[in-house]
Structure 1
Amino acid sequence: MAGVINGKEQKTVQAGKKSALKFISNLNVNFATPDQPPKCTWHKGVDPETTPHRRAEWRTQEKIYSDVTKAVGNTPLVRLNKIAKSYGLECEILAKCEYFNPGGSVKDRIGFRMIEDAEMAGILKPGSTIIEPTSGNTGIGLALGAAVKGYRCIIVMSEKMSNEKVDVLKALGAEIVRTPITADSNSPEGLFGVSHRLKKEIPNSIILDQYSNPGNPLAHYDTTAEEILHQCDGKVDMIVVGTGTGGTITGIGKKFKEVSPSTLIVGADPVGSILAQPEELNQTDSDFYEVEGIGYDFIPTGFDRSVVDHWVKVNDQESLPMARKLIKEEGLLCGGSAGAVVAAAVKAGRDLKKGQRIVVIIPDSIRNYITKFVSDHWMESKGFKQCDNPNNHWWWDQSVANFTLEALITATSSMTCERILHVMKKQGIDQVPIVDKNGGILSMVTMQKILNVLISGNVRPSDSIDKASVTVFPKVYQNATLGLVSRILERENYVLVLEKQNIGQSTIEKPIGIITAVDLLHHISTNTPK
């Protein structure tokens, strides 16, 4: 069979019987970040017939599937009618809706591919346990496969990820191990450290490792890219993909570099991540972002950044409102990372003309984020949406600057957990800011956090308080309203109030008080107009 791509005749490569390579992730052997140089021999201009990997067929002729894994792929391509017009774009934007996969995300493709490759290579057998560090969606794909095939499945994921993902994973029979939001991925308490420890403790277990596993990009090389080429009759001017493990953009990018080299491959990377190039794009004062499933603090082994022609950095203020627009205006029940991808496409597509076409990959569904960006109250508490005052509360629009704050007790990072606990007990407080020598905020420690780490055995009372503190915490500035404070306190136990101060040539954020629900209620009850 042959097809015409951008005016050139191309051979259609049929699925072969070649066996998968016997891939074993280093995480199964050593405690190390999967950021080693890739061993893949692919390069631009390579003959696709020379691949050592098996090829998966993307077409399906079945009317009744033998099990749910056969329903993966062949997702719809949907035109965005209002978004492109509202941003003044002349080109067409088509959304590849990956949330139509049975597990609700693009990661179903790689979950099933990695399981099948491991089975074919003889390293995943009946009675095996699958362990995987993930932001959640790959875990769901693997848990679906494990449920169908009868494997035990353990998912290691950050506490940042939504509770909806956890509930879905548990419903599928997976076991969940959470890691702290602020833990480095390669620390003993981070994603890879915990995964490697579990691998050593559990007999007959394997880490499939989406970060290094060739089945990750291959799933998209063999299926996602082929589907897009088929659906668009080969006419694609630009593809915009969110980047995390890099598998989606690597697989799609490699296929298009072979058959449609004029197609621009654009990577969307959240502000706070380090995946974009050149490195100057990644410079920022913050490494935290709310969008889930994209961005990392290391370069995954399986990510071939050479296939990316252009990078666009996007922040939460662009991504999450755009995801809400996709839901409201286009009817696409998508997740937050879809907003990041479309926001990047709007930027990257400004120079495209009428008749040209962008394809954006919509990674996952609304299901995982009902209590997060889908919630108006959550969006308000994070500052992504104006705080509404539907009940006309007299105090709602008052400034925090006019709120009477209790005297603040602070600590330094040189203090031990034991000493901080003594201070908390003596002062009758549950939260203490950790500050530098100038009084600038470094982190926060709470009674609950100290309790958790001491009970876990990971921290001793004599250890530095740094081991029990967090760098992501609820905060507002003095110009914030009490309405915003109220929204935050619906989800958090406290809010730290900060004041910006100039110290020499730099500006520090100095903590000046803490507001709890009791403090806010006391203010309202004692100041209510007669």
Structure 2
Amino acid sequence: AQPENLNETEITSYKVEGIGYDFIPEVLDRSLVDVWYKTDDKPAFKYARQLISNEGVLIGGSSGSAFTALVEYCNDHPELSEDDVLVAIFPDSIRSYLTKFVDDEWLKTNDLWDDEILKRVDFDEKKKPATDDVFKGATVKDLHLKPVVAVKDNALVSDVISILRDNAFDQLPVLTQDGKLTGLVTLSQLLKKLSTGKVNNTDTIKNLYLDFRKLNNFDEVSSYNENKSGKKKFVQFTSESTLAELNKFFEKNSSAVITDGLKPVHIVTKMDLLSYLASTA
């Protein structure tokens, strides 16, 4: 892209395929280009998915990049009106990407999910039909959950496995030495580390669990937050949180820790919500 300062970036890899190579095609005369736009993976995939679902245009990620540039151009030119005609060329199709950006889980695994993917373009929210809350305003209290079982961050792997096995749990909250919530250790995390020989039974679970202190927003409820990665967001739930909120959270997560301040009191899973719906049907 020109000018050269447009090419300065800290991004070292990208998922959109077919563009961004480190050579210039011989048939390209860059002097004919009036303005260049550089795009990122996340908005490219977001717009590609929106165009697929809203317009039925079966495009690929490179087309999403082209549309991203179109949106940025429009934002840079507020004088444009609905009477103006803009043309965008979509250079690829959906054919090769059914197991990639078209798959929600692939986007989430690669940290490229955007909630706006599910949003209808130019949809008037005021005209959106009201939807009933299937949980009818029920909160976490209505689940009548058992008190949480937690472990300290210096617990041995063998002890944690015993607690998980004896209670048929999939995960446990992890506490600091003074009893504050610091993260979540899961059965899958321990299995992966043990099966690859990276840890043994006599090791502690330190560095083996999801550390909430590295997540965005955890510093809003914690005074000892450190080393945030910013890749994921900590969402706090209490006994007053609605089941509808949890159900939305479970679209991208499998469990939630219910807290009272920084003290974990319950763990809620999708099965808890399913059981509640079955019992109230």
**How far 1:417 sits from its partner (Å)?**
0.9
C-alpha separation in 1, matches of 2:279 and 2:151: 31
Superposition pairs of residues 101-250 of structure 1, within 5 angstroms: 105-106=17-18, 219-223=21-25, 229=29, 234-242=32-40
Q: Deviations over 1:378-400 (max 9, x none)?
A: xxx985558x9999673265344
Q: Which has the larger radius of gyration?
A: 1
- CA gap of 1:341–1:420, structure 2 versus 1, over 3 A, is farther
- Checking the alignment, whether the CA contact within 8 Å between 1:417 and 1:464 is kept in structure 2 is yes
The residue identity in structure 1 corresponding to 2:171 is Q
CA contact (8 A) 1:496 1:511 kept: no
Return the structure number with greater strand share: 1
Change (3 A) 1:353 1:371: same
Separation of aligned partners in 1, 2:77 and 2:131: 46
Count of residue pairs brought into register by the alignment: 228
Q: Is the 2:66–2:88 contact (alpha carbons within 8 Å) kept by the matching residues of 1?
A: no
The match for 1:407 is 147
**Residue 454, structure 1, aligned to residue 186, structure 2:** no
Name 1:369's counterpart in structure 2. Answer: 101
CA distance in 2, matches of 1:324, 1:241: 16
> Using a 3 Å threshold, how does the CA distance of structure 1 residues 321 and 447 change in structure 2: closer, same or farther?
same
Q: What letter matches 1:222 in structure 2? A: I
Change (3 A) 1:510 1:417: same
Closer, same or farther: CA 343–477 of 1 in aligned 2, 3 Å:
farther
How far apart in 1 are the matches of 2:141 and 2:88?
47
Tell me: CA distance 1:484–1:396, structure 2 relative to 1, closer, same or farther (3 Å). Answer: farther
Amino acid at match of 1:326: L
Q: Residue type of the partner of 2:243? A: L
Partner of 2:273: 520
Matches within 5 A, 1:68-79: none
Does structure 1 residue 470 correspond to structure 2 residue 210? yes
Residues 330 and 518 (structure 1 numbering): CA distance in 2 closer, same or farther, change over 3 Å? Answer: closer
Q: RMSD across aligned C-alpha pairs, in angstroms?
A: 5.2
SS of residue paired to 2:265 = strand
* 1:7-62 Cα shifts (integer Å, max 9, x gaps): xxxxxxxxxxxxxxxxxxxxxxxxxxxxxxxxxxxx99xxxxxxxxxxxxxxxxxx
Residues 326 and 334 in structure 1, CA contact (< 8 A), matched pair in contact too: no
TM-score for the superposition, normalised by structure 2:
0.56
Amino acid at match of 2:23: Y
Instruction: Report the residue type matching 1:236 in the other structure.
Output: D
Letter in 2 for 1:408: V
- How far the C-alpha of 1:453 sits from its partner, in A, is 1.5
Aligned partner of 1:59 in structure 2 is none
Of all paired residues, the percent bearing the same amino acid is 16
> In structure 2, how many angstroms separate the alpha carbons of the residues matched to 1:374 and 1:421?
29
Alignment partner of 2:60 out of 305, 309, 334: 334
Shift of 1:333: 1.9
For 2:17 and 2:267, locate their aligned partners in 1 and report how far apart those are by CA, in whole Å: 40
Matches within 5 A, 1:2-17: none
SS of structure 2 residue aligned to 1:442: strand
Q: Which residue of 2 aligns with 1:266?
A: none
| 8 Å Cα contact 1:445/1:470 also seen in 2 | yes
Corresponding position of 2:76: 350
When the two structures are superposed, what TM-score results if normalisation uses the length of structure 1?
A: 0.33
Alpha carbons 1:240, 1:345 under 8 Å: kept: no
How big is the shift at 1:370?
Answer: 2.9
Counterpart among 135, 145, 159 of residue 419 in structure 1 = 159
Q: 1:482 aligns with which of 243, 247, 270?
A: 243
5+ residue gaps, structure 1, are: 6-42, 45-98, 108-216, 244-290, 292-317, 376-380, 502-508
Partner of 1:119: none
